[in-house]
Amino acid sequence: MNETLTSALVEMREDDVLAAVGAAKAAGMAATDIIADLQAGMKTIGDKYEAGEYFLSELIMSAEIFKRALAELGLDQSAADTGARGTVVLGTVHTDIHDIGKNIVASVLSANGFRVVDLGVDVPVEKFVAAVKEHSAQVVGLSCLLTTAFPAMQETIEALAAAGLRDKVTVVIGGGPVSDDLAEQLGADGAGASAQEAVNLAAKAVEGGAA
């Protein structure tokens, strides 16, 4: 464990994080080990947020620093275009604009070798359908924080079915209020409660055969 790197991230010292990543890389440390240290820092920050010690802005700032650290390692989304394990179309569904979790998932998927097409927030149903077609995605990740966005999630999954794409993609839902029960009700293939679960679900979809 690279304490310098992890604590720099937990303390939001962006320059120190990037310097530590650069140094570790130069010293020949494996990218996966550097990522593990960064993810350990993210976990601590998440726990501090849960405990009320950290604010939302600190959580988001850490995700931003994490993203830059990945870019430093050449593992940002655009860099993962070739030789990817698979393609994941990701977005916060129509009627919702919350994206902290979605952005963290995008970074972690990229870090784990997936090509991520991030459609942003308040994404119209048609945009998901078009992106799945255009990028021949194997996985679609639908995110929401608001329970008011459940109908939009359902509409998006129905639209994928109407476009004849439902059998071709694994649909995974994520975000604070989602659950396996909800996934089943909305017609999704699974639900993830963390970035790591998103990676596991995506890996299962592309390597273990689509659900």
Partner 1 sequence: MTGDATENPTSGSGHGRLVLLACPAVTGELAEGVIDAVDCRELEAHLHVKPDSLKVALREAVAELDEPGTTIVLGYGLCSNAVLGLKTEHATLVVPRVDDCIAMLLGSNEAFSREAEKERGSYYLAKAYLDECSTIVSEHEAMVEKYGQERAERMMRLVLKHYKRVVLVRTGRYDIEPLRRRVDEVARVYDLAIEEVEGTTRILDGLVADEWGDDFIVAPPGHELTLRDFKPELYKDAAGEAAAGGGPRGRPRDGGPEPDA
* Residues in 177-206 at the binding interface with partner 1, rule: CB under 8 A: 177, 179, 181-182, 185-186
Instruction: Give start and end residues of each alpha helix (H) in 11-142.
Output: 14-26, 31-50, 56-72, 100-111, 125-135
State which residue, 57 or 82, has the beta carbon closest to partner 1: 57
Task: Please state the closest distance from residue 52 (CB atom) to partner 1, in A.
Answer: 6
- Does residue 99 touch partner 1 according to CB under 8 A? yes
Which listed range, 20-28, 33-41, 125-133, 142-150, lies at the site for partner 1 (CB under 8 A)?
142-150
CB 88 within 8 A of CB 138: yes
Could you give the angle at which helices 31-50 and 3-10 cross, rounded to 10 degrees? 40
State which residue, 50 or 207, has the beta carbon closest to partner 1: 50
Rg (CA), the chain: 17
What is the helix (H) or strand (E) element at residue 186, kind and residue range?
helix 180-186
Task: Please state the closest distance from residue 79 (CB atom) to partner 1, in A.
Answer: 22
- Does residue 148 touch partner 1 according to CB under 8 A? yes
What is the helix (H) or strand (E) element at residue 159, kind and residue range?
helix 150-162
Query: Residue 200: CA atoms inside 13 Å, Cβ hemisphere, count?
Result: 9
Task: Please state the closest distance from residue 192 (CB atom) to partner 1, in A.
Answer: 15
CA 96 to each of CA 7, 107, 209: distance values in angstroms, whole numbers, following the listed order: 33, 20, 31
Task: Please state the closest distance from residue 33 (CB atom) to partner 1, in A.
Answer: 28
Q: 3-class DSSP state for residue 146?
A: coil
Contacts of 187 (CB under 8 A, 6+ apart): 154, 157, 158, 161, 166, 171
Task: Please state the closest distance from residue 118 (CB atom) to partner 1, in A.
Answer: 14
Quote the CA–CA distance of 18 and 69 in Å, as a whole number: 6
Chain centroid to Cα 19, Å, comes to 24
Binds partner 1 by CB under 8 A, chosen from 73, 88, 108, 121: 121
Which listed range, 25-33, 82-90, 145-153, 165-173, lies at the site for partner 1 (CB under 8 A)?
145-153
Binds partner 1 by CB under 8 A, chosen from 47, 147, 162, 208: 147
* Residues in 53-82 at the binding interface with partner 1, rule: CB under 8 A: 55-58, 60-61, 64
- Does residue 15 touch partner 1 according to CB under 8 A? no
Residues that bind partner 1 (CB under 8 A): 12, 50, 52, 55-58, 60-61, 64, 95-97, 99, 121-122, 145-148, 150-151, 154, 176-177, 179, 181-182, 185-186
